[in-house]
Structure formats: C-alpha cells, structure tokens
Chains A and B, each alone.
Chain A
Amino acid sequence: MTIALSPLPIYRTEQVTRVYRSGAVDVWALRGVDLTLAEGEMVVLLGASGSGKSTLVNILGGLDLPSSGRVFFRDQDLTQASDKDLTAFRRAHVGFVFQFYNLVPSLTARENVALVTEIARDPMPPEEALERVGLGHRLDHFPAELSGGEQQRVAIARAIAKRPDVLLCDEPTGALDSKTGVQVLEAIHEVNRDLGTTTVLITHNADIQRIAHRVIVLADGRVIRDRANTERLLPAQVSW
C-alpha cells in the first residue's frame, strides 16, 4: 500500500555534524548528514549502536543543536533558534516517544496525556488519544499500574494528542517483548496513516524497517543507505 506523499519537505538538513567534547577527545556523533524528509512520511532509522541515530533525532526534535550545518523545519532554521524558540517548536510541532516511556509517575494515563493537551493549540481530548492506542479502559491508572507496553502506548497517546507535525520515536519497542512491541508499532502506524503525522522511528530491529515508507541507515555518523520501501508490511505482519 502507498499513500500520496506531499512533495513538500518537512525537514531538510545540510551537512549536519555533532561533536561531543568529552575530556581531551572529540567524539564525532554526526559527520555531515544531508537529509530531506517529506511531509507524511514514515521513516525508519537503522544503524549500529553509537552510529548517531539518537543524536540525529534529538537534533530534529529541537532537543539538541548541531555543531555545524543547518536544519530546516519547513522554512524555520532550527540552528538559528534560541532556547525559547526551540521550546516553542517542540511544543507546537513535535511528539516524542522514548525507550523508557518517560511518563510522569504521579499522573494517571489520562493526566499524562492531558499534561500535553493543556499546552497544545489544537489537541484532541486525552480520552480520544488513549482510545486510539487501545487504552480507553485504562484512563485512571498510574504508570506503575500499567505494563511496559501499556506505558509506551500512553507515551504515544501523549505524543500524538496534540496532533504534532512530526512524531519522533527513539527505540519505542526497545524495552518490550515482541507481542507488546507489535501493539506499540500498530499504534504508531495508525497515527501516521490516519493523521498523516510525519514519523521517524529509530530501531535496532531490522524487521521493523518493512513497515516504513523509507529506510535510512546510519553508520559512524553518516548516512550510508537511504531507500524507499517498494512494499510495506503492516506491523502485525512483523515479528522478531
């Protein structure tokens, strides 16, 4: 199955590098990345540990700034943005999902989602977002009362409830077993399909790449492969 992709790029990076200075040695996490992501695309980011995936996604999400190069979100140059601008950018456009859920333990599922919808411009009701990820019956549970997969789905609901333009997922299934992981991927997949949210998904699991429109592979801070999937699988068809 295919969907008509908007030709407009949502992201464009030019020669992005990121150098970490730890002590005397410089660690080059990114060594010049040129990328263009199209509106509505679902991209899987692959690569060995330490290849720079998280670094790249953090830069795209406005959590980090490149050491050199430029990053455009639509026509906004993120590399010129102040801390305040980046906060506003994340707030308005970006949904994050991380490996370790990062839910607020003192808030229930519904409240964790409401946390974000309260500061969003055009959010969906928290209940709807949770319904979408199949947690309509767990609204008033605290994270500690939910399984890992359920917590991750709350995190997805929280990320999508504000109807973000991009959904950035850093190893969302990393801490989950295969069956639970599939449920989480289904949630992400549906969001991308139904809401047209541009999605970047980091994974270590090569099988998962087949649900994406496009697969980008990083190695040692460089893009070494970038190709579109001619045929996509549904998450349910993937297993690992």
Chain B
Amino acid sequence: MLRDLRRIWPQTLAIALVLGCGIMVLVGAQATQATLIETRAAYYDQHRFADVFAGATRAPADIVAAAHLIPGVAKAEGRISFHAVLDVAGMAEPASARVLSIPEGGATLNLPLVRLGRLPEPDRADEVALSEPFAQAHGLVPGREFRAVLNGQLRALTVTGWVLSPEFIYTIAPGAMMPDDRRFGVIWMNEATAAAAMDMSGAVNDLALRLTRDADERAVIAALDRLLEPFGGTGAHGRDRQMSHVFLDGELQQLGAMAAFMPPIFLIVAAFLVQMVLGRLITLERRQIGLLNALGYGRRDIAAHYLKLAALIGAMGILLGWAFGWWIAVAMIGLYQDFFRFPFLIRDWGSWALVVSAGMGVATVVLGALRPVWATLRLRPAEALLPPAPPHFGKSIADRLLMRLRVRQTTMMILRSILRWPGRAAITVLGVSASVAVLVMSYFLFDSVERLTQSVFSQANRQQVTLTLARPMGESAVQDALTLPGVSRAEGAYVVPVRAVHGHRIRLTAVQAHFPGAELARLVDDAGQVVVPGTEGVILPVTLARALDLRAGDLLRLELLAAPRSILHLPVAGLIAQGMGQDVHISAAALFAATGSAPQVNMIHLAVQADRMDALSAAIKQTPGVAGLSDWAEVRRQFDATLSENMLTMVGLYTLIGLLIAVGVIYNAARILVSERSYELASLRVLGFSRFEVGYVLVGEMMLLTLVAIPLGWLAGYGLAQGVVGAMSTEIVQIPFFISRRTFALAGLAVFFAALGAVLVVRRRLDRVDLAMALKARD
C-alpha cells in the first residue's frame, strides 16, 4: 500500500488538499462561530447582560420598582443615558460618547468589567470610567483628563479606569457603519453627576431588565411599553434590537453561511477525484490484481486494500483540514478581536465540526472509491490477467460529426479523447467550474460591498458632515447652520423613533422625514435611483415590508416614540430595495401634516469646504445644541480601510483554496492522461512533432475543458452568490446582489492560468518518456 501511495503521492496530496480545504472551511468557520458563541454566552451570563432594554424621555425613579413587578422580570435597573460631545487632547474634531450612569450602590445588570484602574468614587462628580477601546485609542490612562459638553457646559472629567461591558462588545456610534474607537466611546459616571448634568435627579431615562427563564419576552415588552408610555417611552426591545448583540449575530450568521456553502463543493470534487485516480490506479494494477487473485487472495482483501488507500487519502485530508481549520479559526478570531471586545475567550475547537467533518471526509473518499473498487470485485482473475480492452473509438453520431470537421489531427485526438471518456471530461469540467464558482462567490462580495458603499456614500449621503441636534428645533436652525465656518450648504432632516405596527407584527425603527429639494442626503435604492417620497403615504424598505407583511397600498400604523408622540395611520405608497437601512421614509410635508405640528429638524446635513473642517470642528465643540457630529469622509475612509484589509485577507484565502480545486482537478486529469497515453504521445515525437506540438495534445485537451468549464462556473457562481446573499442578509443589512464583469473576468482568468500552470507541470513528464521505450510498448 505504501508503494501505491508513493506511486501516486502528488495526486493523493492534491486530493487530500481539496478535501482538506472543504474541511478547513467547515472547521474554521465552526470553531470561530462556536468560540464566539460560547464566549459571548459566558460573558453575558457572568456580567448579567440584560434581556430587555427600553428608553424614555424622563421617568420617575420608582418606575424601576414597577418594572420589576411585571411578570417574568427577574431584575430591573434604571439608568440615565445620553450622548455627549467630547473634546479630547490631540484630536481636532470632536469625539462623541454614550454616557451611562452607574446606579447608586453599583450596577446589578450589564456589569461593567474594570480592566484598569477603578470605577468613579460615588462622591466624586468629576470622575468617569471609559470604555477600553476608546481610552486605549487616546491613551487616556487613569488620572488623565478630558473635556465633555454636559448639558451645554464644557466640563473637565478625570479618567479613573478602563471598562468593558457586555452591552458594548461591538461599539458603534448611532448611525455609523463601522466601529471607530477614536471617535466614539462609552462613559460611565456616577448617577448623581449624570442626573445633575441632565436635570434628571429622581428620574431615569433608560431601563434594562433581566427575565426569568420561563418569561414571555413579548408580553414583558408590551407591559414595559405600557408602563413607559406616559413618560415618553421610545419602545422596549429585546436583545434582537440591541446594537452590539445584533452585529455579533450578523457576523455569526455570515460564518454559518460560509460553512454551509463552501465545504460541499470541495467534498464533491474530492469524491470525484478519488474515483478518477483510484480508477486509473486499478487499471494500472489490473494484472497484479489478477495475479494476487489467482494466487488465492480473496477479492475482498484486494478491495479492502484500495478502500484503505482511499481512507488514507481521507485521513490526510481530514488532518490537513483540521490543522488549517484551527489555524484559520485562530486568525479569524484575531481579526474579530479588532471589532468585538471580549474580556476573555473561551476557545471551542469546533468539536461538533470535527466529528461532522471527519464523517463527511470519510464518506467522501469512500463514495469516491466505491465505483472503482466495485469494478475490482467484479473482475475475474482470467480477465484481469489480460491487458485491458483497447479503448473503442466508435461511430456514434458525435464521431461522425467529428469526422466531418476539418481540424488538425492533433486537435482531432483531443476531441476524440473527450468523446471517448466523457465521464472523466465531465468530472474535469465540473471540478474546474466549481473552482470558478468558488472564486465568483468570494469576489462578488467586493462588488456588493462596493455597490453598497457607492450607494451609501456617493449617492445617498453626499454631505461631508451630519450634525445630530440635542433636541428638535424649528427649520430656522438650518439657516443658522449656514453661518458655521466652511459650510456651503445645509439641509435639515427629522428622524424620530417609531413603533411600526401591522396586525400582530411590530418592529421598532425610525421615521425619516425628507424635506423638499434635498441634494445632500437622499433616498437611493440599490439600483442607484433617487426616490423622492410623495406627499401621501410612506416608503418602506423591502425587508421591513416583508417583516411586517405589508404591500403597497396597505395601511401602516406608526406610533411616534418621541414628541409629538402621535399615532399615525398612513398608506404604504411604495417599497424601496436598500442594502442598509430599516427606516420608514416620508416627506416632511406628509409627516407634519399628519401630526399637525410645525415642521422640525433634529439632524442637519452639511456640505463643507474641505480646508475648513478643523474650523468647523472647533466651532461645533462650542455649540451646545449639537449632540453629535459625523464626518462622512472619515467614515468612508475608515470603512474602506477596514474592508480592504479584512476582505483582502479573506479573498486571498478563498482565491487560494478556490484555485486549489482547479489545480487539483487538472493536475490529476492530466496525470491520468499522460499515464495512459504517454507512449502514444511520445511516438508523435518520433514522427517529427516538436515538444510543443506534442504538449498541445495534452494541454489543449485540459484547456479546452477548462474553457468549457469557465462559463459553467460563472453560472454556478452566480447561483451560489445568490444563495450566499440570502444566507448572509439579515433584516438590518441586506447585501445587494451584484456581480461585476471584473469579478467574472478575474475568476475566469485566475482559474485559466492556474489550470494552465498545473497542466504545464504535468507536461514536463512527457519530455522524460524514453522514445525507444515508447516504441517497444505494445499497448
């Protein structure tokens, strides 16, 4: 057996690698997923991550006790929460932070984990703790000071410690697309300090609940909503609307999608390769098999021998897959730690995936080996001792057609070979197209994200800066913004949290009111079309409409969760396909007509001269009415940087394993062709054909199959990409389905050259065939 293995080791290795890739992706994705899930679960549990969250404008502190009485609530905690603009040394533009109060007597839910220093002393009004990533980004070690605009006043605050929290595993500013540790952080301060800053003594505006095991979350949410209604409740929600949790969930879902779509392709190709290579090996060893059989070895022993060989290939693939899978898991978890801040990691090596992948690996090789081994079982010793019947070149219709073709005879040899062994050609085509499909599937993500960014940054959001106002103002605020330094255009917008209700379906989201003549921030669909909401009704993202089971023309109930807290019934005027965004869109005219109130704005989009950004930033830090600022150019820069870094790593990896399929398949097919026909090809050399012309017969056949396979791979890749989009899309982020010509071209070219490389390596074996030996050969 070792001799057999040595004889075909490069082929064996190629198969093991293909198989290993499938297992690697499965184990890698699963180990990463399992590690993240277990770590998150332990973190949530140890730090008492809440189950239900709610905000209100201002509720009396005793509302917490009332919330505790809701059936199913194990623990309730009230906090003061708000956003503040910060002035940090070494940063021209303002940073912003979510400020949270630490209840008197310490937190009992969402426990902050002190990583460095300590929490603020209860009686110290100037002390705060900072979220670790933000503090790290600025080197704000305990003892350092920074300034914050609290309730319109710039105040100096002293850092006491660095903190992590299960609420902020993924820390992202509201409305941002990516975490930005420099610009956004979380601040924990004493309740008294927060209350003083916000005029909230004896009151809370943020509630967190932990439920009992058998609680009915929906019922608790409904009860809490009723409880907070008089106090400006902005809608209670479960973890499924908690930012950090949702983003982590989305990532886990994407990992799952990867584990679901990639491995089967590799396993199927590996099975076919096993069949192809073992089939050839058994043909080569026919006589030996016959001899052993004649000598009294049972056919079962012989079949077992080949099965063992297959199992060995399987074992190699499984071990390779595990090893690289773990390596990838470690690397991916490393990547994730840039986004997801866990205080500790509970590593899970994907025990489930190990078992499953081993099972699948064994099944793959055994299935692949079945046919050739079955053939040995049926072989009679007498037959086995004869040379195999010469290949028959028949006179089928296809053959007759070929005969009419006026092509070179070397080309004819290629075509006849394909016709003669259609199964093998089919496997080759299948394998190569799988390779193309894997590449399309991984490259298209670039296209989709590019399209998404294109629509988000270049079409929908052409403003340089968006100001978030601390509270709604009249339209005149937009005029005032024009007087800020460097501002050449200002547009108002109004966004208000809303509970969208249709029948028994409820979603918490926001309503965006669009003012006429907007040129900076516009509503743009996936196809790049600008959509202007009409004077009647609302426009819904397709995903939200689906979640609420709404169609155009249906009536939607909107409960505004901020002043004026009206309940509106508005018709759905249209749907919009959007990559990101769950907001309900409406024209300002329609909204304020429905609420009966005067038009207001709480966001202002600005076009700013590039060289005046610093001046604007400085001015904003002094402007009390502004609660936050987002710099879109910076957002885009960050977004692109993060994406290109991470996606390049991923794409590099996928390119590698995707091409491995093509290389494995072509290498094996070419080796088999050479092994069967090296003498025939060498005798062409005798006739005066050059190495190049002889190589053409081999290379031509493989590349012809590759060329047939590429368009098939494009088709398959298209289908798979569609599946991936479906599997990766969440209600919040819809990855737009778009594949560029560049992706198709790149995938096709990469596979073409990989295949060419593989076949050229095999071609060199033709040079080594001894011409004189070739002439003595009978077969």
Contacts and interface: CB of A to CB of B under 8 A. Distances in A.
Given A96-B687, A102-B775, A114 B390 contact: no
A13 B159 CA distance: 99
A228 B34 CA distance: 90
B688 A119 contact: yes
A104 interface: yes
Contacts of B344: none
A150 interface: no
A107 B413 contact: yes
Interface in B404-425: 408-410, 412-413, 416-417, 420
A96 B409 CA distance: 19
Given A87-B690, A92-B688, 18 more contacts: A58-B772, A64-B771, A84-B690, A87-B689, A90-B687, A91-B687, A91-B688, A91-B689, A94-B688, A100-B775, A102-B686, A107-B409, A108-B403, A116-B687, A116-B688, A118-B408, A142-B393, A144-B393
Interface residues of A, number: 35
A177 interface: no
Interface in A48-93: 54, 58, 61, 63-64, 83-84, 87-92
A22 interface: no
B685 A87 contact: yes
A111 B776 CA distance: 23
Interface residues of B, number: 31
Interface in B667-725: 680, 683-691, 693
For A58, A63, A89, A112, which residue has the most chain B Cβ atoms within 10 angstroms?
A63
A83 B391 CA distance: 32
Contacts of A108: 403
B389 to A, nearest CB: 9
Q: Mostly helix, strand, loop or mixed at chain B's interface?
A: helix
B505 interface: no
A100 B776 contact: yes
A41 interface: no
B295 interface: no
Contacts of B693: 119
B772 A104 contact: no
Given A54-B772, A63-B772, A102-B683, A144 B390 contact: yes
Given A108-B403, A140-B403, A90 B413 contact: no
18 contacts: A58-B771, A63-B771, A87-B691, A90-B687, A91-B687, A91-B689, A94-B688, A96-B686, A96-B687, A98-B775, A100-B778, A104-B680, A111-B409, A115-B409, A118-B408, A119-B689, A119-B693, A142-B393
Nearest to B394: A142
A210 to B, nearest CB: 27
Top 8 closest A-B pairs, CB basis?
Answer: A91-B688, A106-B416, A115-B409, A90-B688, A102-B683, A142-B393, A98-B775, A63-B771
B602 to A, nearest CB: 78
B410 A115 contact: yes
B741 interface: no
Interface of A: 54, 58, 61, 63-64, 83-84, 87-92, 94, 96, 98, 100, 102, 104-108, 111-112, 114-116, 118-119, 140, 142, 144, 158, 170
Contacts of B688: 87-92, 94, 116, 119
A54 B408 CA distance: 31
A87 B685 CA distance: 7
Contacts of A102: 680, 683, 686, 774-775
B392 interface: yes
B417 A106 contact: yes
A136 to B, nearest CB: 17
Nearest to B415: A106
Nearest to A140: B403
A63 B775 CA distance: 11
A21 to B, nearest CB: 14
Interface centre among A94, A104, A116 (most CB of B within 10 A): A104
A12 to B, nearest CB: 22
Contacts of A83: 691
B392 A114 contact: no
B743 to A, nearest CB: 38
A61 B306 CA distance: 44
Contacts of B778: 100
A63 B416 contact: no
Interface string B288-325: 00000000000000000000000000000000000000
A84 B689 CA distance: 10
Given A98-B775, A140-B403, A144-B393, A104 B690 contact: no
B777 interface: yes
A104 B411 CA distance: 13
Contacts of A94: 688
Contacts of A88: 688
Nearest to B776: A100
A18 B764 CA distance: 26
Contacts of B685: 87
A111 B409 CA distance: 6
Contacts of A142: 393
Interface string B216-244: 00000000000000000000000000000
Contacts of B777: 100
Contacts of A140: 403
A2 to B, nearest CB: 32
B687 A118 contact: no
B775 A170 contact: yes
Contact of A118 (B390, B409, B416, B417): B409
A88 B690 CA distance: 8
A105 B687 contact: no
Contact of B413 (A87, A104, A118, A170): A104
B304 to A, nearest CB: 34
A104 B688 CA distance: 14
A28 to B, nearest CB: 16
A25 B420 CA distance: 44
A144 to B, nearest CB: 5
A146 to B, nearest CB: 12
Given A64-B772, A94-B688, A142-B393, A111 B683 contact: no
Contacts of B412: 106-107, 111
Contacts of A98: 775
A39 to B, nearest CB: 21
Contacts of B409: 104, 107, 111-112, 114-115, 118
Given A63-B772, A114-B409, A107 B392 contact: no
A108 B690 CA distance: 22
